[in-house]
Amino acid sequence: MTASPSETAPAPLEELATALAQAVGGSAELAHGTAKIRVNRDAWVEAARTARDDFGLVFFSWLSAVDWSNQVEVGDPLAQPVEERYEVVAALADISSGLIVLLSTDLAKDDPKVQSLVGVYAGANWHEREAHEMFGIEFVGHPQLIKLYLPDGFVGYPLRKSFPLLTREVKPWPGKVDVEGMPGQEDEDEPSTENPEA
Amino acid sequence: MTTRMSADQDLVRHLSEVSVSVELQTPDMTLNIGPQHPSTHGVLRLVATVDGERAFNVQPVIGYMHRGYEKLAEVRNYPQITTLVNRIDWVSGYANEVPFIVAAERLLGVEVPERAQFIRLILTEMARIASHLVFNASYPLELGAATPLFFALRERERVLDLLESVTGGRFHPNFNRIGGVKPAQGAGSATRKVIQDLPKGFLAETRAAMDKVLATVDELEALVAGNEIILARTKGVGLLPPEIAAAYGMSGPNLRASGVGFDLRKVSDYLPYGQFEFRVPTGANGDCWDRWWVRLEETRQSASIIQQAIDAIPAGPLLAKVPKIIKIPKGEIYVRAENPKGEMGYYLVSDGGLGPYRLKIRSASFSNISILPWILEGTLIPDIIAIMGSLDFVLGDVDR
C-alpha cells in the first residue's frame, strides 16, 4: 500500500466537499488542505445524516465551537470586526479514503441553540457536553446535557471570549518586571539576545 | 447410621422451609470506582450501578486533570504553545507537538527541510514505541502478570534515554520549532555559536536499540500470549464492532483492533511515511486481546520504520528560514496525526496575530473513553479493569 497524501493532493477532497455542499444545501470552502462546509442551523442534523449515509463519513472525529467576538477579554482582538456569532464545527471523516470534512453552522449570540447530533453519531455526546459547558451552546435533544469537565456549581462559560483568564488578571504576561538586572549593568529596556560577534 | 440420615433429612426440610419464608432482598448498589485507582492511569472516576457481579449504567466522571489548554493557547504566542501541547499525552509527549507544528507551518507556508522531517519521524516513532511499551508493561500487570513490566520498562528506558540525548527531555521534549527542529542543543555561549545536530552516535545506537526492542517484543509475546489467565480474561471480552467504534470516534490501535485498517500514516502526509514499508496490523474480533496484540505488532512496525528512516536520512539544514517573530496569516486549518493513542489533531484558527484566535485540540483518549458507558454495560466487575486497560488512555489526553 502506498501513501495517498490527502493534504497536498486536494482533488478528491475538493470533489467530496463540492458534492457534499451541493447535497446539503451549503457552501464549501477549501484552503490549506482543510475543507469546510457551511450549512444553515436548520439543516445541521440533516447535513450530518447525509454526510454519514450518502458520503460514507462514518467517523465522528470531534465537535467544538469558535466564539467570533469583537470584544475580547483574553488574547488579541480581531484585526477586522466580524459578525458576532458562535460557529459550531464538527469534523467527520471517511475511514476508507481518509478524507475529512469540517461541517460548520453559525448560531446567533442571543440564541445559541442547535439540534444535537447524538442521534446521528453516538460519539457527539461528550463533545456536545464540552461545547455546552465551555461556550453555553444548547444542544436540543441531547440525552444528558450536563457539565463534563467543570464542577457542578461553576458559573460562566470559560472558552467564550468574554470570559477573563484569571491568572492573567492577577499577573500580566509576559512580565518584564520579572527580569532581574545583571549586577554592574545598567537596566536596559530589553535584555539583548543578539550574538555580538555575528 | 439411619438416625443420622433422618437427622440430615430433617435439617434439609427445615432449611427449605426457612428459605421460602424469607425473601432475599437484592437491591442494586451504586459502586464508586476511583478517582484514585491504579488501573485508571490517572484520575478517572466511574460511578456504576451494580447488580451482583455485573455493572450497569457506568458513568465516567472526568475533569480532575482539566488544565484548560485551549484557553491558555489564546494568550500565548505560537512558539510558546509547544510547551503546553507536549503535556497533553505525557506518555508520548513528543508526538503531541508534531501535528500542532505542522498546522502552524502550513498556515505560515513554510517548507520544512527534509532532514528535520526525518528527525521528527524517528522521534515520533520512538515516542510510539515508548507509549506502547508502557501499555505492554501495565496491561498484563493489571491482569495479574507482573513479569512483562520489567522487560517492557527496561526497553522503554533505553528508548527514552535516546530521546533525551537528542531533545534534552524524557517526557516533555519541546524540540520542534516552526520550520523544523531545534538546531542546537544547549548550544554555545554568547560569543561562540555551536551548531549541533543529532548527538554523535545517535543513529547507530538507535538502530541497535531497535534490535533490542524487537527482541523484547518477541519475549513479551512469548510471556503474555502463552499465559492461560490472560487469554481467559481478554479473549472475547470487551467486544467492539467497527461501526460503533467509528461513530464514537475511536481511533488508533483501538479502531484497528476492530478490523478497520485505518492509519493516518498511510493516508496523510504530515510526515514522510510514504517512503517506508510498514504494515497496518488489524484485529479480527475487536476484543481486549486484539487491542493488546495490535499494539504489540505496531511496536515491531515502528522499530522497522525507524531503522528504514536511519538508512534513508538525508543531510541538510534542520530549520527553514522563518521570521524571528512569527505571525501566522489569517486562516484556519485542521491537521491530524496518527499518535500512539489514536488521531490527534489541532484545529487552528489564526487572525494574523502572534498567537491563535482559537485552538481546538482533538485528543485521542477523549473519544476513546467516551465509549466506556457503551462498552461496560452489563460487564462483570473484573472485566471493567480488563476493558479499561485495553483502551490504553491517559487522563492528560482525556482532559487536556
Provide mean pLDDT across the span B365-394. 89
CB spacing of B262 vs A33 below 8 angstroms:
no
Question: B334–A34: do the CB atoms touch at under 8 Å?
Answer: yes
Determine what percent of chain B is predicted with pLDDT higher than 70: 91
Could you tell me the CA-to-CA distances from A76 to A70, A102, A165, B74, B323 in Å, in that order?
10, 25, 13, 8, 20
Per-residue pLDDT at A14? 83
- Is the model's pLDDT at B291 over the cut of 60? yes
- Is residue A191 situated within a structural domain? no
**Residue ranges of chain A with per-residue pLDDT less than 70:** 1-10, 172-182, 184-198
Contact map slice: A 56-95 vs B, CB within 8 A: 58-62, 64, 66-67, 74-76, 78-79, 89, 91, 95
Cell of B149: 513490566
Yes or no, beta carbons of A79 and B260 under 8 Å apart:
no
CATH number of B62-399: 1.10.645.10
Query: How many angstroms away from the CA of A102 is the closest CA of chain B?
Result: 9
| Nearest CA-CA partner of B346 in B393, B291, B285, B400 | B400
In a domain, A4, yes or no: no
> Quick one: pLDDT at residue A64?
93
- pLDDT score of A79: 83
Secondary structure percentages of chain A, helix, strand, coil, to 5: 25, 20, 55
Residues of A in contact with B62 (CB under 8 A): 148-149
Locate the chain B residue with the closest alpha carbon to A146: B61
Q: How open is the CA angle B221-B224-B227, to the nearest 5 degrees?
A: 135
Average pLDDT over residues B163-184: 83
- A125 interaction partners in chain B (CB closer than 8 Å): 370
Q: Considering the entire predicted model, what is its pTM? A: 0.83
The residues that bridge with B380 in the sheet, in sequence order, are: B54
**DSSP sequence for B98-132:** HHHHHHHHHHHTPPPPHHHHHHHHHHHHHHHHHHH
Question: Is A186 part of any domain?
Answer: no
Q: What are phi and psi of B196, to 5 degrees?
A: -115, 130
Residue B43 pLDDT: 81
Q: Are strands A100-107 and A34-39 parallel, antiparallel or unpaired?
A: parallel
* Contact between B367 and A123 using a beta-carbon 8 Å cutoff: yes
- CB proximity under 8 Å: A 29-58 to B: 31-34, 36, 58
Alpha helices in A116-198 (DSSP H): 124-135, 166-170
Query: What local confidence, expressed as pLDDT, does residue B340 receive?
Result: 92
Residue A6 grid cell: 490527502
The C-alpha R_g of chain A, in whole angstroms, comes to: 22
Which of B71, B106, B334 is opposite residue A102, by nearest beta carbon? B334
Whether the complex's predicted ipTM is more than 0.85 is answered with no
Q: Examine residue A168 and state whether it is found in any structural domain, yes or no.
A: no
Q: Which residues of A touch B193 (CB under 8 A)?
A: 195, 197-198
**Per-domain boundaries in chain B:** 62-399
> Which of B273, B343, B347 is the closest to A3 by Cβ?
B273
Q: At residue B254, what is the residue type?
A: N
**Segment among A25-29, B156-160, B183-187, B377-381 with least mean pLDDT:** B183-187
Which pLDDT does position A1 carry in this prediction? 38
Q: Do A196 and B354 touch (CB under 8 A)?
A: no
Which among A32, A167, A54, A50 has a CA at the least distance from the CA of A120? A50
From the list A75, A123, A165, the residue facing B249 with the nearest CB is: A123
Within chain B, residue ranges assigned H as helices are 2-21, 69-74, 78-85, 93-108, 114-142, 147-167, 202-225, 228-234, 242-247, 253-257, 264-267, 288-312, 364-369, 372-375, 381-391, 395-399
Predicted confidence (pLDDT) at residue B50 exceeds the cutoff of 50: yes
pLDDT of residue B195: 56
Give ∠ CA B304-B307-B308 in degrees, rounded to 5.
85
Q: Inspect the interface and report whether the beta carbons of A74 and B334 lie closer than 8 Å.
A: no
pLDDT at A181: 66
Q: What average pLDDT does this structure show over B279-297?
A: 91
Q: If contacts are CB pairs under 8 Å, which of residues 121-160 in chain A contact chain B?
A: 121-123, 125-126, 134, 147-151, 158-159
Comparing alpha-carbon positions, the chain A residue that sits nearest to B342 is A61
CB–CB of A75 and B70 under 8 A? no
Query: Which CA distances in Å does B221 have to B148, B206, B225, B393?
Result: 9, 22, 5, 21
On chain A, the residues whose CB falls within 8 A of the CB of B345 are 61-62, 91
A197 touches chain B (CB under 8 A): yes
Q: Does the distance separating the beta carbons of B331 and A5 come in below 8 Å?
A: no
| B320 Cβ neighbours under 8 A, 6+ residues apart | B110, B111, B112, B113, B116, B179, B180
Question: Does the beta-carbon distance from A98 to B268 stay under 8 Å?
Answer: yes
* pLDDT score for A117: 92
Query: What pLDDT does A179 receive?
Result: 59
Residues A131, A134, A138: CA angle, nearest 5 degrees: 50
Q: Mean pLDDT, to the nearest integer, of B50-66?
A: 87
Q: Which domain, by its residues, includes A27? A: 11-71+81-163
pLDDT tens across B189-222, in order?
445 454 567 777 888 989 999 999 999 999 999 8
Residue A5 lies in a domain: no
The pLDDT of residue A163 is 87
For residue A22, the distance in angstroms to the closest alpha carbon of chain B comes to 22
Give CA angle at B88 (B84, B90), nearest 5°: 110
Average pLDDT (B356-371) is 91
Q: Residue A45 sits in a domain of what CATH number?
A: 3.30.460.80
Higher pLDDT, B6 or B240: B240
* Ramachandran angles phi, psi of B390, nearest 5°: -70, -20
Q: Would you state the pLDDT for residue B177?
A: 86
Other Cβ atoms closer than 10 A to B228? 7
Band of pLDDT at residue B397, cut at 50, 70 and 90: confident
Question: How many domains does the structure of chain A reveal?
Answer: 1
B9 or A159: which leads in pLDDT = A159
List, for residues B76-125, the tens digit of each pLDDT value. 888 889 888 888 888 888 999 999 999 999 998 898 989 899 999 999 99
* pLDDT of residue B187 exceeding 50: no
Paired with B181 in beta bridges are B176
Per CB-CB distance under 8 Å, the chain B contacts of A172 are: none
Report the pLDDT averaged over residues B9-22. Answer: 68
Question: What is the rounded distance in angstroms from the CA atom of residue B307 to the CA atom of residue B311?
Answer: 6
